[in-house]
Amino acid sequence: MDQIDRLLLRALQADSSRSIAELAEEIGTSTSACHRRIKALEASGLIAGYSALLDPQRLGLTLQAIVEITLTSQSREAMDRFEQAVGDFDDILECQLMSGNADYVLRIAARDLEQFDRIHRDCLSRLPGVSAMRTSFAIRTIKPWRGYPTR
């Protein structure tokens, strides 16, 4: 990966809806070279896909919760059951296996506390093997995630 690929990746993360001609102009290459580089980055798996960044506020999702989960057991079977169950719930936006005090950290978005209560009762409480759950609510987003550094 060279500097042009890095510029291209940065530009795609900022706005992948732009035309190849616009991307090529921004990074200083020809349209055909830009197209070849994008196809090569896709083929290598470095570009895993494309998606739209949605504004949670405009969707009415004003409550962001971070839920730390501790399991009763860290056996492979217990972790596999938990991870399978997490995948079954659309209300769980993200799940990370952690080192440290919590075994997993989940990210949840809800309209309000009432909806979070429903998610807690209908989703989080059904996750298998949970011994402890600690929830923190984000007060305000200071720096939203906008992509990986491409240095």
pLDDT for residue 29 is more than 90: yes
pLDDT in tens, 136-149: 999 999 998 888 99
Token couple for 68: 């730390």
Which sequence spans correspond to the domains of the chain?
Answer: 3-43, 63-137
pLDDT for residue 151 is more than 90: no
Give the pLDDT score at 11.
95
pLDDT for residue 26 is more than 90: yes
pLDDT in tens, 89-135: 999 999 999 999 999 999 999 999 999 999 999 999 999 999 999 99
Question: To the nearest 10°, the Cα dihedral for 39, 42, 47, 48?
Answer: 150
pLDDT in tens, 47-101: 999 998 899 999 999 999 999 999 999 999 999 999 999 999 999 999 999 999 9
Structurally, at CATH architecture level, domain 63-137 sits in: 2-Layer Sandwich (3.30)
Taking the alpha carbons of 12, 16, 20, 21 in that order, is the dihedral positive or negative?
negative
Give the pLDDT score at 145.
86
- What's the length of the chain? 151
Q: Do domains 3-43 and 63-137 have the same CATH topology?
A: no
CATH topology of domain 3-43: Arc Repressor Mutant, subunit A (1.10.10)
